[in-house]
Amino acid sequence: MKTILITGGAGFIGSHVVRRFVKKYPDYKIVNLDNLTYAGNLTNLLEIENEPNYEFVKADITDGELMKKLFKKYRFDGVIHLAAESHVDRSISSPMEFIFANIVGTVNLLNAARVIWEDYSGKKFYHISTDEVYGSLGTTGFFYENTAYDPRSPYSASKASSDHLVRAYYHTYGLPTVISNCSNNYGAFQFPEKLIPLAIHNIKNNILIPVYGKGANIRDWLYVEDHANAIDLIFHEGKVAETYNIGGHNEWTNIDLIRLLCKIMDRKLKRSPGTSENLITYVKDRAGHDLRYAIDSTKIQNELGWKPSLQFDEGLEKTVDWYLANEEWMKNVTSGDYQKYYDKQYTKR
């Protein structure tokens, strides 16, 4: 039986990966390591929490000695590292937290693997990263695996640093690493600070929908289950030392995406057409706001046979249905200081 460490498994993408691995691979013991920040929530994992091949460990990846102890105790055969501070706006207001979690935390895991793993054969250290490390595109072109790094926010700079360190551990110590860089994910269990769940939450509760700047920035959206499927493929079949880009070929300006969401929400909530669009409010732009992200995912499609399974309108419908059916989850994660935090953020343009 192999023991796989998944970090950040109580967060959005991590919870989909943990659920998938626990259910699909009964021969693996899955250890989910997470320190449960505001973004980590164990109710994301109720479906599998009692499975015999699942264990949760509350721990902080910034504690290097603890990481070594855990590597010794569990003798992990592989690592899928997702734990991170993940929201660009928070990285602008509190950059240091991103340096500790994303850079120091990643190095602590790399070190633990380097020192505690006696034999690297059959092992894999898989680091999950973002397309934001490549910077911002103009109106044309795509990010490829060999696009030069050009991160522009504290979040993307911290993820770029961690990617560089992962590659350095391969080149210097021979640690068997692999990296993937994915575009914007959406789906169930995403914390309502990111655009899509925030807009769903606000529309449902008749709160303004803050659109940064002119709403003209473009993101390439991918359904989270498709990302989890890519992670599964890369963990099992991805080549050591390689990088794989993952994306949906699904570019939307923020304003077009929000308008589509408003239409879906009006229909689902039986409101007259146009009601939700009245909530759209243009607010002060994000500092250093990257204009456009777009991934070329030819490599993973050709080499590993991956492709996205859902059209965007289908994925968005499913996502809206999930949030409307899971009001308790939303209430739970938006209790406490949530509204106070967001009320402070916006200045109307």
Instruction: Give yes or no for residue 88 binding ligand TYD (CB under 6 A).
Output: yes
Residue number, 129 or 202, with CB nearest to ligand NAD: 129
Of ligand TYD, ligand NAD, none, which one does residue 105 interact with (CB within 5 to 8 Å by kind)?
ligand NAD
> Using the rule CB under 6 A, which residue among 108, 184, 229, 334 binds ligand TYD?
184
Of ligand NAD, ligand TYD, none, which one does residue 210 interact with (CB within 5 to 8 Å by kind)?
ligand TYD
> Using the rule CB under 6 A, which residue among 4, 39, 211, 228 binds ligand NAD?
39
Instruction: Give yes or no for residue 219 binding ligand TYD (CB under 6 A).
Output: yes
Instruction: Give yes or no for residue 217 binding ligand TYD (CB under 6 A).
Output: yes
Phi and psi at residue 5, to the nearest 5°: -90, 125
Instruction: Give yes or no for residue 12 binding ligand NAD (CB under 6 A).
Output: yes
Instruction: Give yes or no for residue 191 binding ligand TYD (CB under 6 A).
Output: no
Q: How far apart are the C-alpha atoms of 345 and 199, rounded to whole Å?
A: 15
Strands 184-186 and 2-7, bridge-based pairing: unpaired
Of ligand NAD, ligand TYD, none, which one does residue 219 interact with (CB within 5 to 8 Å by kind)?
ligand TYD
Question: Can you tell me whether residue 325 is helix, strand or coil?
Answer: helix
> Using the rule CB under 6 A, which residue among 45, 82, 103, 228 binds ligand NAD?
82
Question: What is the chain's alpha carbon radius of gyration, rounded to the nearest angstrom?
Answer: 20
* 267 C-beta neighbours (distance < 10 Å), count: 13
Residues 283-322 that bind ligand TYD (CB under 6 A): 286
Instruction: Give yes or no for residue 34 binding ligand NAD (CB under 6 A).
Output: yes
Instruction: Give yes or no for residue 111 binding ligand NAD (CB under 6 A).
Output: no
Binding mask 178-217 for ligand NAD (x = CB under 6 A): ----x-xx-----x--------------------------
> Using the rule CB under 6 A, which residue among 8, 151, 210, 247 binds ligand TYD?
210
Instruction: Give yes or no for residue 194 binding ligand TYD (CB under 6 A).
Output: yes
- Whether residue 155 lies in the annotated active site: yes
C-alpha angle 181-184-190 in degrees, rounded to nearest 5:
115
DSSP state of 215: S
Instruction: Give yes or no for residue 247 binding ligand TYD (CB under 6 A).
Output: no
The one catalytic residue in 155, 244, 293, 323 is 155
Name the minimum Å distance from CB 192 to ligand NAD.
Answer: 11
- Whether residue 134 lies in the annotated active site: no
Q: How far apart are the C-alpha atoms of 68 and 144, rounded to whole Å?
A: 35
* 155 C-beta neighbours (distance < 10 Å), count: 24
Per-residue burial over 300-324, b if 16 or more Cβ lie within 10 Å, else e, is bbeebebebebebeebbeebbebbe
| Cα dist from 98 to 45, 105, 122, 127, 185, whole Å | 25, 10, 31, 16, 19
The secondary structure of 113-182, three-state, reads: HHHHCCCCCCCEEEEEEEHHHHCCECCCCCECCCCCCCCCCHHHHHHHHHHHHHHHHHHHHCCCEEEEEE
Q: Which residues contact 93 (CB under 8 A, 6 or more apart)?
A: none
Of ligand TYD, ligand NAD, none, which one does residue 159 interact with (CB within 5 to 8 Å by kind)?
ligand NAD
Residue number, 171 or 284, with CB nearest to ligand TYD: 284
Instruction: Give yes or no for residue 18 binding ligand NAD (CB under 6 A).
Output: no
- Whether residue 118 lies in the annotated active site: no
Interface ranges with ligand TYD (CB under 6 A) = 88, 184, 194-195, 198, 210-212, 217, 219, 254, 286
Provide the annotated active-site residues.
131-132, 155
